[in-house]
Structure 1
Amino acid sequence: HTYYLWHILRKVIEKLGSHGQYKCGQKSKLLSCVYDSLTIEEFENSWKSLNDTFNLHKNAWLQSLYAEIEFWVPVYLKNSFWAGMSTTQPSESMNAFFDGYVHARTNLKEFVDQFDNALKKKVENENQANFNSFNFIIHCISHLALEKFQDVYTNTKFKEIQQEIMGMIYCHCRFKKMDGVIATYSVDDQVKVEDFIKEITYTLYFNEAECEAKCVCGLFEMRGIIYRYIFVIFSAKKVRELPEKYILDRWRKDIKRAYTIISTSYDVVDHRPETVRYKCILRTFNEVITNAVSCDEHTEEMISNLYTMNEVWRTSKPSNTDSNVGGSTVNAVTK
């Protein structure tokens, strides 16, 4: 799990505001330490400098935060996948989830009832979004072969990809060195922070043998979509085949989600053909499992037969979308 950095930093003025040097660079240095550190070493050095400069070694609040830095400091979290969640923003999605359903005076019984209603509405919205992803085309904004992303991504994620493509115009790529099959680049970016533009330089590594790009920012690892910096490197290297590892199953619209055919108290799809078939197969499958586990031979035979049947059905099932994804690569970077 992780803590919301937004909630933590809201308390800065409360915990440090009375400090004599709060308005003399203390707050800005703390924020820079948290947000601008790209490596753990950078953060540790910056944190030490903050404590030394403003004599904060005995500040109980700061020291308690430091004891749990792996739960809230971005540089400690960037190698974990957070599915788009951010420690830097308040829990807006959760607040939006209950908008119109609960309020400060909602009692427990009303909350339970309204929770089911909110879940039902969430399912309806997801179904509508899925329908839109398959039936509405978003126009491309560049000559990059984004259509390949649109073939497999939901519209929501495709729009995020487009934002990254547009962000490439603010990036400048410079080759630094070659070490075996690893090329090192610097990418300068201009990031808008409130009312001013902040210039940031990132280091990226490109493995030519594996066609793999990695940025010290760790944004792909954290959020699961390709960021502008990787696009810039792929464009510079004239990469035409994007490895499928950059297309996460989580964001794909051409993969059937198992949970969508499971009956729930808030769903109204109990009589859909897929749901009825799912229940029927599940009942039969439970009986088969009970008989198969009686010995190793039966278990192995069952697993082997299931793999064989699944391969036949996987390759022969009707497709909901004309996807251009195949093998291990996707044409998704340049024409």
Structure 2
Amino acid sequence: MLQPGPLNLITDVPGLKVGHVTDERVRSGVTVLRPDKVWRASVDVRGGGPGGRELAALEPENMIGELHALVLAGGSVFGLAAADGVAVALSQENVGVRVQPWTPAIPVVPSAVLHDLANHGDKDWGLEPPYRQWGIEALAAASERFAIGAVGAGRGALAGTRRGGLGSASLGLGDGLWVGALVAVNPVGSVYMADGRSFWAWPWEIDGEFGGRRPDGTLGHRDPVPQLSRLESLGRLQAGANTTLAVVACNADLSTAECKRLAIMAQDGIARAIRPAHLPFDGDTVFAMASGARVLEQGARRPVALSIVGSAAADCLARAIARGVYAAEDHATPNT
């Protein structure tokens, strides 16, 4: 049986670090993923109300197809400024693309944001939202070890009508090949089955990593969109008011097009762990990153190898969703 890495975090993929800023007054935050060099990457968007930056730069038909850092943030459109801070800080380190030797380095820093503006945190920031500075601080805090739960981009998140959060998980595939996932969980749908305590992702749990809860076997069919009236009262049935933001990473030598396929396959992890998913109101976005350190099989066998990595990525993402919410459950509710 495949097992998680020593940290059971996305940073079990060698060369990757993650940093958070969490602000309890604003009830929001920023999470930055920093690779050790430029990594190949792509993105797949399945939700109907996404919010992001530089997503087109990661499409296989375009020129870039790689990144120097990746940012997830709360704050809706205001959170996009976090990537500005990361880009400036990296440029000061001479990290990025140079058009000419004398021009500043231009980092490629894609970003995606979630809506947490209605959680009664202090959003009275006038003309100076804090996200740009938080991006700089989260980049500086990047480490192989990081917290999960109500932290970083997941601080103000809701999963349906319950506490959301930020989760991560990893899986070793053998021969030095690693896959990991990180996710900020803020969907319309629920991560819980009809009993309100066992996770939809329970079949993929490893070693009780999100509580070892099992459904009792007598559960009936739950409502397609649970607690509809409560969601409406929270203003969540609007495009852009909800999302699941995810990153899957591996150390395989993937092309940008192969990263795109990895992101597409990993979306199944959202569908396994959240019911329903990919709604018109969600902004479900999955990034895929690859360091290139491990060479996959070539020729006719390469699609098979990519399929194995993609399947593991979907499993990691389902587990990361449940782990993030489970870790956030004992935190104070976001509306108090």
TM-score normalized by the length of structure 2: 0.23
> RCO (CA 8 Å, sep 6+): is it higher in 1 or 2?
2
Which has a greater percent of helix?
1
Higher strand share: 2
Which of the pair has more CA radius of gyration?
1
